[in-house]
């Protein structure tokens, strides 16, 4: 999620691959860690107080042990998404890992790109990297094509301590399987230009503020000096090109994205899109947020919050490094507002790690993944990248940087208690393109949200059903 929103969208647009490629990936035999059960006799001393008799009881226990490291030389491949800036960090982790496992060579590649087509084709050809970087959308896209391994058996065999990590793994699981483990995460919050608030005589809102409070503040922060209907300053920037910024509002309004089993897209049905309607109204009814076209013109293609065009924006800790480095004003954050009935909602973003189903060394790939998730590595991400939140609980203290803005950093940790991944289903890749094409017409003012949802709802449902039938035919082959 350090990548730009449009780049993230491009991988979804490339999600359609040939049935042959998908079938090859889906039919590749899965490798799982070798788990051995050994029996050992354990003596237990039982004291019976009434008679003061001491008994020695022998019982047989089964102990699960993980497969030891490889004896022969092994090489695993790990493309990372942080580019040249992140290469020294990940090479340092690889060096530490190789000192523990001298027979293993880790090839860290800084040229990862968010191109799903590339990795699906590589998987079909049997040439995908051992560890695949991704995010919450990639997990479902690639796992639905049979590309990824379930991580739970590796975690169980290695004694991985799930309790050391933020309580979020259920949000990344599907039908009991975990196809990706977040390397770092971030919940959405509202960012404020405090200089513009001060000029308007406003203060940072309290934690229990509402979406109606947000509307009121946005109106107070919108400035149209010559009254021509084209404000020079807008109250808030609304992003509808990807789901994390607006997903929080849908959740707070009580909306659902999919049915419980993920096979039916229900966001296109009332009242599930009420929260999205609220955001569209900020653009076209209240005129306190710019359209995408106006944003482009005013901000020159840049971030309208960072350039001072918009006083508020919805974002996550990925923005910390950018604003700490580039903002020329004082800024801070507040939690996402409460919905009409007091509901909370915060979208959860991630970058994640998965193991390629066709890896020749899945056990070693997991061992290095474990190293990437370790406290020592998570601490390094905090000190070097200074952005997204670690998943290791003990590393939270190194993520909090009281000497740097924003002042209210703790709110992003607190939001993990209720944050959810929006638009998540095994079939999200089927939904994304038609949905965002329809939503684009709404954001630009060419259609109402109701019209767009009515038009796109049935085609999406039919496309999901067709995909379900296609995947079922693969599993039967």
- Neighbour-count burial of 462, counting CB atoms closer than 10 A to its CB (0-12 exposed, 13-18 middle, 19+ buried): exposed
DSSP 406: -
Residue 58 pLDDT exceeds 60: no
DSSP letter, residue 172: G
d(C-alpha 330, C-alpha 180), whole Å: 37
* φ/ψ of residue 133, rounded to 5: -75, 150
| The pLDDT of residue 476 | 54
* Mean local confidence (pLDDT), 270-277: 97
pLDDT of residue 12: 34
User: Which of the residue ranges 10-24, 222-236, 384-398 would you say has the lowest mean pLDDT?
Assistant: 10-24
Nearest-angstrom CA–CA distance, 33 and 114: 29
Find which of 136-140, 142-146, 304-308, 331-335 is predicted with most confidence, using mean pLDDT.
Answer: 331-335
User: 262-266 contacts: CB < 8 A, separation 24 or more?
Assistant: 262/174, 262/424, 262/425, 262/426, 262/427, 263/425, 263/427, 263/464, 263/465, 263/468, 264/461, 264/464, 265/425, 265/427, 265/431, 265/435, 265/457, 265/460, 265/461, 265/464
At residue 302, the pLDDT reads: 83
Point out which residues pair with 77 in neighbouring strands: 107
As a whole number, mean pLDDT of residues 67-72 equals 65
282: left (phi over 0), alpha (psi -120 to 50) or beta: alpha
Q: What is the DSSP letter of 463?
A: H
Check pLDDT > 70 for residue 439.
yes
- What does the H/E/C string look like for 75-126? EEEEECCCHHHHHHHHHHHHHHHHHHCCCEEEEEECCCCCCHHHHHHHHHHC
Beta strand pairing status for 53-65 and 36-48? antiparallel
| pLDDT per residue as tens digits for the range 182-230 | 999 999 999 999 999 999 999 999 999 999 999 999 999 999 999 888 8
- pLDDT value of position 139: 81
User: Residue 159, preceding bond cis, omega within 30 degrees?
Assistant: no
Determine the pLDDT at residue 14.
37
In this predicted structure, what is the pLDDT of residue 374?
98
Of 246, 267, 255, 254, nearest in space to 461 by CA: 267
pLDDT at 3: 41
Which is higher by pLDDT, 67 or 135? 135
Is 70 exceeded by the pLDDT of residue 246? Answer: yes
> Which residues is 339 bridged to in the sheet?
none
What is 138-151 written as a DSSP string? Answer: HHHHHHHTT-B--S
**pLDDT at position 68, please?**
57
Residue 206: predicted pLDDT = 97
**Greatest pairwise CA separation for the chain in angstroms:** 96
Q: What was the pLDDT predicted at 475?
A: 58
Give CA separation, 81 vs 85, 115, 341, 368, in Å.
Answer: 10, 12, 40, 16
Residue among 128, 89, 135, 136 nearest 108 (CA): 89
Q: What is the pLDDT of residue 41?
A: 41
Mean pLDDT of 266-281: 97
What is the structure's pLDDT at 57? 38
Q: How far apart are CA 206 and CA 338, in angstroms?
A: 11
Backbone angles phi, psi at 268, to 5 degrees: -80, 5
Q: If you count them, how many residues does the chain have?
A: 477
Judge whether 368 and 273 are in contact, CB under 8 Å: no
The predicted model scores a pTM of 0.84
Among 184, 183, 186, residue whose Cα is nearest residue 372: 183
Tens of pLDDT, residue by residue over 279-292, are 999 999 999 999 98
User: Could you tell me if 125 and 408 are in contact, meaning their C-beta atoms sit under 8 angstroms apart?
Assistant: no
pLDDT-above-90 percentage for the chain: 69
Q: Are 123 and 355 in contact (CB under 8 A)?
A: no
- pLDDT band at 45, cuts 50/70/90? very low
State the pLDDT at residue 171.
81
CA distance 352 to 180: 6
The residues, any chain, with a CB within 8 Å of residue 461's CB and separated by 6 or more, are 264, 265
- Going by pLDDT thresholds of 50, 70 and 90, the confidence category of residue 333 is very high
124, 24 Cβ separation under 8 angstroms = yes
Low-confidence winner among 21-25, 181-185, 306-310 (lowest mean pLDDT): 21-25
Question: How does the average pLDDT of the chain come out, rounded?
Answer: 86
Rounded to an integer, what distance in angstroms lies between the CA atom of residue 399 and that of residue 419?
Answer: 18
Higher model confidence: residue 4 or residue 293? 293
Query: What was the pLDDT predicted at 46?
Result: 38
Judged by DSSP in three states, 365 sits in: helix
**How much is the average pLDDT of 15-23?**
36
The pLDDT confidence band at residue 145, using thresholds 50, 70 and 90, is: confident
In this model, does residue 132 exceed pLDDT 90? yes
Per residue in 390-430, pLDDT tens? 999 999 999 999 999 999 999 999 999 999 999 888 888 89
Q: Rounded to an integer, what distance in angstroms lies between the CA atom of residue 148 and that of residue 342? A: 39
Closest CA to 146 of 160, 159, 128, 133: 128
Question: What is the mean predicted confidence (pLDDT) over 124-129?
Answer: 95
Residue 177 has pLDDT above 80, yes or no: yes
Per DSSP (E only), the strands in 227-325 are 234-237, 310-315
Over residues 446-461, the pLDDT tens digits come to 999 999 999 999 999 9
For residue 69, the model assigns a pLDDT of 59
**Cis bond upstream, residue 103 (ω within 30):** no
Distance, in Å, from the CA atom of 349 to the CA atom of 244, rounded to the nearest integer, reads 7
């Amino acid at each position: 999620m350090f990548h730009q929103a449009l780049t993230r969208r491009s991988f979804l647009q490339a999600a359609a691959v040939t049935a042959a490629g998908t079938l090859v990936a889906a039919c590749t035999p899965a490798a799982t860690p070798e788990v051995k059960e050994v029996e050992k006799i354990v003596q237990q001393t039982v004291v019976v107080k009434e008679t003061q008799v001491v008994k020695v009881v022998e019982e047989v226990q089964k102990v699960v042990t993980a497969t030891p490291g490889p004896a022969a030389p092994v090489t695993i491949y790990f493309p990372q998404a942080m580019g040249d800036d992140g290469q020294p960090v990940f090479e340092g982790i690889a060096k530490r890992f190789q000192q523990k496992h001298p027979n293993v060579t880790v090839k860290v590649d800084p040229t990862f790109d968010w191109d799903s087509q590339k990795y699906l084709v590589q998987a079909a050809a049997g040439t995908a990297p051992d560890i695949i970087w991704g995010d919450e959308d990639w997990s479902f896209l690639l796992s639905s094509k049979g590309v990824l391994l379930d991580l739970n058996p590796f975690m169980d065999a290695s004694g991985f301590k799930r309790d050391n990590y933020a309580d979020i793994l259920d949000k990344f699981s599907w039908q009991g399987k975990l196809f990706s483990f977040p390397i770092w995460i971030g919940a959405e919050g509202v960012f404020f230009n405090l200089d513009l608030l001060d000029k308007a005589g406003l203060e940072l809102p309290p934690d229990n503020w509402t979406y109606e409070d947000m509307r009121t503040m946005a109106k107070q922060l919108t400035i149209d000096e010559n009254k021509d209907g084209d404000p020079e300053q807008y109250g808030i920037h609304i992003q509808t090109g990807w789901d994390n910024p607006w997903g929080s509002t849908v959740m707070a309004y009580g909306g659902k994205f999919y049915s419980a089993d993920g096979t039916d897209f229900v966001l296109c049905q009332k009242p599930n899109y009420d929260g999205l309607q609220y955001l569209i109204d900020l653009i076209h009814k209240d005129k306190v947020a710019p359209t995408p076209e106006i944003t482009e013109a005013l901000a020159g293609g840049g971030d309208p919050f960072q350039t001072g065009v918009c006083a508020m924006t919805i974002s996550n800790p990925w923005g910390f490094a950018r604003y700490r480095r580039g903002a020329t004003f004082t800024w801070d954050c507040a939690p996402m507002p409460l919905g009409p009935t007091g509901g909370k909602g915060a979208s959860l973003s991630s970058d994640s790690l998965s193991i390629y189903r066709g890896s020749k060394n899945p056990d070693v790939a997991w061992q290095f993944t474990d190293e990437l998730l370790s406290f020592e590595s998570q601490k390094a991400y905090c000190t070097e990248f200074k952005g997204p939140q670690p998943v290791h609980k003990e590393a939270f203290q190194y993520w909090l940087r009281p000497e740097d803005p924003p002042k209210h950093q703790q709110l992003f940790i607190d939001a993990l208690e209720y944050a959810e991944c929006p638009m998540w289903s095994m079939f999200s890749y089927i939904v994304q393109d038609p949905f965002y094409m329809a939503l684009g017409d709404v954001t630009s003012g060419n259609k109402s949200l109701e019209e767009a949802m009515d038009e796109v709802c049935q085609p999406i449902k039919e496309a999901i059903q067709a995909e379900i039938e296609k995947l079922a035919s693969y599993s039967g082959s």
